[in-house]
Chain A
Amino acid sequence: MSFPHLHVASAYSTHYGVTMPEALAEQTKAQDGTFLAVTDRDGLYGAVKHVRACVDAGVRPGLGADLAVHDDDHLSLGRVVVLAHGNTNGRGYAALCRAVSAAHNNAAHNNAAHGSAAHGSASHSSAAHGSASHSSAAHSSAGTPSIARSRLAELAGLRSLTVLLGPASDVGAATGHRANEDARARLTAWLRAMPAGSVTLEVVCHLSEPGTPGSVTPATRMLALAEHAGLPAVLTNAVRYGTPAEAVTADLADAARTLTPLAELEQPQTNGQAWLKPARAMRQVARMVVDAGLHDDDALELLFRDTERLAERCALDPVADIGLGRSRMPEARIIGVSGDPVAELWKRARAGIDDLYPRPEAGARRGAASAEDAHARLAREMKTVEHLGFAGYFLTVARVADIIREMGIRIQARGSGVGSVLNYALRTSSVEPLSNGLLWERFLSPERQTLPDIDIDVESARRHDIYRKLFETFGSDRVSLMSMTNAYRGRGAVRDAGLALGMNHEQVASIAKQMWRFNARDFRRALAEKPELEPLAAEVRESQQLDQLVDLTAKLDRLPRHISVHPCGVVLSDATLLDRTPVQASGIRLPMSQFDKHDMDPMGLIKLDILGVRMQSAMAHAVEEHHRLSGESIDLDRIPLDDPATFELIRSTRTLGIFQIESPGQMELVGKLQPEVFNDLTVEISLFRPGPMQNNMPLKYLQARHGEVMPDYLHPRLEPILRETKGVVIFHEQVMRLFDELTGCGLGRADVFRRHLGKPEQLPRIEEYVRERALERGFPPAVIDQVWTVLAGFGSFGFAKAHGAAFALPTYQSAWLKTHHPAVFLAGLLTHAPGMWPKDLIVAEARLLGVPVLGLDVQRSTLDYRVEELGDERRGIRLALPELTGGTAAERARIVRHQPFSSLQDFRDRVRPRRKTFEALARVGALDSFIGYDRARRHELLAHVQSLRGTAVTINDDQLAFEVELPVQGFEGARFDAVTSLELRGRSQTDLELRDLNLAVSGHQMTRFYPLFAELGVTPASELAGLPGGTEVLIAGVRRATNTPPMRGGRRVVFVSLDDGTGPVSNVVFFHDAQERIGGPVFQTRHVLVRGRTRRSGAKGVSITGENLWDLTDVARKAAQRQKAAAAARHTDRADELAAELAAIPVDNVHHQWPIRA
């Protein structure tokens, strides 16, 4: 005996259902069920997962959605369940997708119209069934999804859909309060509106107390209504969870959804019976429902028969109905292909190779791949592509890349797709795979049948433009954004659990702060085990509420919480896309699929990752600025990859601002590694990852690279594979080639083995195979032992070389720009902020590179950083208007629109700045053009600005301003009679800039400490490189970054990067003992003085091992006091007394150390 559940919310009905689809399917199977429908609220969010789980569990899947409906007058008709019919060649499922999309589209329109439509009648919704009660009906105006009944009727035609009218529908609500006539009238309206046979009544009974929603009475009346109308009725349990034990979680969901503590919920679940009951329990319910009213003799059997029949009708075939596993590319004509896609792909790829590779007769550069090699590789790649039928996919991706390039946007492929000559020839990728030793099989092979992934990095600032263009080009019936499911994690879970319990906000917030580094599911265990949580654990032991909080937090952990647009996923398909995925509006207004990345491949949807990368924007800005100033066009993708000056800059470790290698840890590694060729950059980037770092691979590689140890190639046959990394296995590609060489399994299978290395349960099987085959292929057992140890130890970490090479290209390109065009490059960095360092430091770097940074000037500054020619071949970077703190976008727009200004009056009249903005501009000198750039007069200007009252005169854009001179301009008398502002007194330009711009432009903020540095004997950062290792030094500066990179051995190491304005940042390493000695200030102090020893890292690199650290401001104050005291001592007899005072200052205070250095 089994019972088919037709109305089930999964956990993807966020804040409503609480059981994952996989668990529901498993439970169905365990209860001998053969059918299960999932009908999530407002969407098909859990649909693909449900269907796949059902396939795995051997259960027939049904799909539906629990949707709000409104009539032609936009009056709410409550909520209904819309179920797709199976065995319709996908027609039912398509209609369901369209219905969901329509409901959301309507919501978006209502939102836009400020919710003028679809206000529900309160009486209906409030009487709705308890567990389904907080239906949006009563307050559906605020953009809640709702579908028009007329639209639903259209979609339900051709026997595509069944609509279940249950307790939450208008009919059910009327039935609920015995308004029988009303209920019949409403049912008649449904029957008139909908196609024949598409309406079924839904009987739900949760055995709640008489007189409450969910009791037997409304259920038995609903059954009577069906009998009266001659309609089929089905029994469901309006399921929200798999087991009764999860009812608690549903309570939490109600609290979280309504933002109301449990104790104050208006309509809590009437009881905990909305679970996935087995057949016997459902029969029990049915008997009670039938017994409670007057029904036909066979009412009970009829109810079950109709339920079974509907389930039969709604059982979907995963392949025929949903199209699971069948990929659909955009139609050929959409991607500009007229003939056979395979032939077209061949044609384009061959042409690409002939363009990009040197002809055989032309003398190729050393190491460069020849066209002949490329054609041979292409043939191999095309074989797989044809075999898998992916020609359309490659053409589509290439088309997208073309579109982006045609928009003039920088593009860079990333990921394993970079290993393909095909992608290179189609110009989807710009890294040449053969000369970089990249493998096609890492990307695609017959052994790997999932749709391949090609990730495309673009300029971050243009990402949304690209999305819009793709919608425009392919049509919104073929394109959608992808969504992502955000699940509860520790902090969110504890907050919502706290909310449900009605705990006070501060208490919950303070607990939430401690919820990290462990799973919320293991909250109780963490409390018992983690010493830092002991105070909380003690509180929990004392408080019943906190004790509950711990368990409730664990219950919420990992549950889906909401969906949002994926940061880079774009879905591309043919014109049937909207028949296969429902869409809803995303935050950026474009339609977004309700499916997430895990659903893409099963649904045969092509997903492109188009990721915004700020460095691409920064480089584009640099190239644009260079073109604006000089008329020269730089094609970054065609610059030579062996420029000596570029590598020299990289080797000098002055890598600030360069993609991927600008962090202190990277600076150090670059210094040690001393890259000479492009491949070194690929290796460097691949080494600087948690896995290799923890396994000490950088050190092993460096020792072999610099000849300190002999590289160990294990066996002559393995040497070609390991040579490029001196015997250290770094890349996925190497692992694959090792497998292939050892076993002859082919690279495709080798990649399968490589993936399985991360799964301990697979290891014995692989080991057995490798040992057996390698012996056969003539490898000695000792070598096999050695290689296997390396392979097994490799695990799943490491890096695809394709990925590393794809990263190395922008690394090289940005280094090249920094070397040859520093001004425009830094302007790009300042405009798009791609890296880890604050702008203030980039400004300091500019100063050091001899690129003047020009102050804010309302005559010249624009919305981004522009470069100005200064004559004498020099270029300076003009500060951008958005740097002014407190200014508004509107003010900035007006400044740019009306530049230049003839006078202060003109500026004020056209820009109409707010007083705060006006004064700030005056303070930092942005208005200095009105006083002839005479800084000494700025206080007069500021006083004038401050004295201005009354509103600015509004002047039409086409009208000239009154040329009224600024009073100070014409002032001739003695200066001290003039009105002045005291606000500038005693403040340096740097102080003012830091105040209003957060950026020190004119000078470095540390300069005020320079006299102190001289007195203390502080070593300037620029001098450090000249010192031998182990030299004791004092260094100082403003903290620019604090890093705690992953380290071998697991002990935390703190990197602090200090900037004293003299050179690159100096990186101080604090090891465990120093951290203990210093305590909190190691993370907190802003202006820092450090004592430590130099540590050489390679030829150019130097860092400091920090021993102690002081707050520079303290030191400065004490030094000043001491000087004062010393001066006083010289003039009085208080010398002894002062000496005693000084002696009382703690010994470890720094100025006792100074004499050592001085």
Chain B
Amino acid sequence: MPQIIDTQVDVELSADGDPQAFIWNRFEHTIIGQPQAVFTRTRWWENDGVPLRIDTELWRVDASRGDEEQHRYDLRRDVDGSWVLALDWG
């Protein structure tokens, strides 16, 4: 069962622009392998105003804290560039 985290985190990007690591609960989580991004569209016309983006940017990453077992996480990048750790898939 995924666990909802929904907390803002700092994300470190590689030279290519992919997330490389994120800091959550003071611990750095290192991302392993090629992270995959997914853009999900919104039904924006059901909300207020006209949006700048019609989709939400999610990154599904495998990461581990130190030598601990790796987890799968969903990181969300908002339009303002801030990152939110959305889910911990375990």
Task: List residues of A whose CB falls within 8 A of some B CB.
Answer: 206-210, 215-216, 244-245, 247-248, 251, 262-263, 268-273, 280-281, 283-284, 287-288, 291-292, 500-501, 544, 547-548, 551-552, 555
Contact = CB atoms under 8 A, between A and B. Distances in A.
A291 B32 CA distance: 13
Given A207-B37, A272-B55, A552 B17 contact: no
B19 to A, nearest CB: 11
B52 interface: yes
Instruction: State the 3 A-B residue pairs at the shortest beta-carbon distance, nearest first.
Output: A291-B34, A271-B55, A271-B39
A552 B50 contact: yes
Contacts of B12: none
Interface string B27-53: 000000110111111011110111111
Interface string B50-68: 1111110000000000000
Nearest to B57: A207
B18 interface: yes
A216 B18 CA distance: 16
Given A268-B41, A287-B16, A248 B54 contact: yes
Contacts of B16: 280, 283-284, 287
A273 B48 contact: no
A269 B54 contact: yes
Contact of A207 (B33, B34, B38, B54): B38
A244 B39 CA distance: 12
A247 B55 contact: yes
B17 A251 contact: no
A253 to B, nearest CB: 13
A250 to B, nearest CB: 8
Contacts of B53: 244-245, 247, 272
Contacts of A288: 34, 36-37
A583 B53 CA distance: 37
A281 B17 CA distance: 8
B39 A263 contact: no
A963 to B, nearest CB: 74
A551 B49 contact: yes
Contacts of B37: 207, 284, 288
Quick one: which of B33, B34, B40, B41 has the most chain A CB within 10 A?
B41
A280 B17 contact: yes
B41 A271 contact: yes
A248 B44 contact: yes
Contacts of B44: 248, 251
Q: Name the interface size band of chain B.
A: 20 to 34
Nearest to A262: B45
Contacts of A280: 16-17
A263 B43 contact: yes
A322 to B, nearest CB: 35
Contacts of B50: 248, 548, 551-552, 555
Contacts of B34: 287-288, 291
Contacts of A251: 44, 54
B38 A209 contact: yes
Given A280-B17, A500-B45, A544-B48, A247 B54 contact: yes
Given A208-B39, A247-B53, 18 more contacts: A207-B39, A208-B38, A216-B36, A244-B52, A247-B55, A248-B50, A248-B51, A251-B54, A271-B40, A272-B41, A272-B55, A280-B17, A281-B17, A287-B34, A291-B34, A544-B48, A547-B48, A548-B45
Contacts of B41: 208, 268-272
A263 B45 contact: yes
Interface string B1-20: 00000000000000011100
A262 B51 CA distance: 15
B14 to A, nearest CB: 10
Contacts of A548: 45, 49-50
Contacts of A291: 33-34, 36
Contacts of A281: 17
A215 B52 CA distance: 22
A269 B38 CA distance: 14
B45 A501 contact: yes
A290 B18 CA distance: 15
Contacts of A273: 39, 55
A284 B33 CA distance: 13
A1053 B48 CA distance: 44
Contacts of A215: 38
25 contacts: A207-B39, A208-B39, A209-B38, A216-B36, A245-B53, A248-B44, A248-B51, A263-B45, A268-B41, A269-B41, A269-B54, A271-B41, A271-B55, A272-B55, A280-B16, A280-B17, A281-B17, A284-B17, A287-B34, A291-B34, A501-B45, A544-B48, A544-B49, A548-B45, A555-B50
B45 A210 contact: no
A547 B39 contact: no
Of B36, B49, B55, the most chain A CB neighbours within 10 A belong to: B55
A83 B86 CA distance: 43
A436 B43 CA distance: 66
Contacts of A263: 43, 45-46
Given A273-B39, A281-B17, A283-B16, A547 B54 contact: no
A165 to B, nearest CB: 25
A1002 B35 CA distance: 88
A208 B57 CA distance: 10
B18 A284 contact: yes
Contacts of A216: 36
Nearest to B33: A291
Given A281-B17, A284-B16, A551-B50, A272 B39 contact: yes
Contacts of A555: 50
A1097 B44 CA distance: 63
A287 B55 CA distance: 21
Contacts of B36: 216, 288, 291-292
A269 B42 CA distance: 10
B85 to A, nearest CB: 19
A551 B51 CA distance: 10
A489 to B, nearest CB: 20
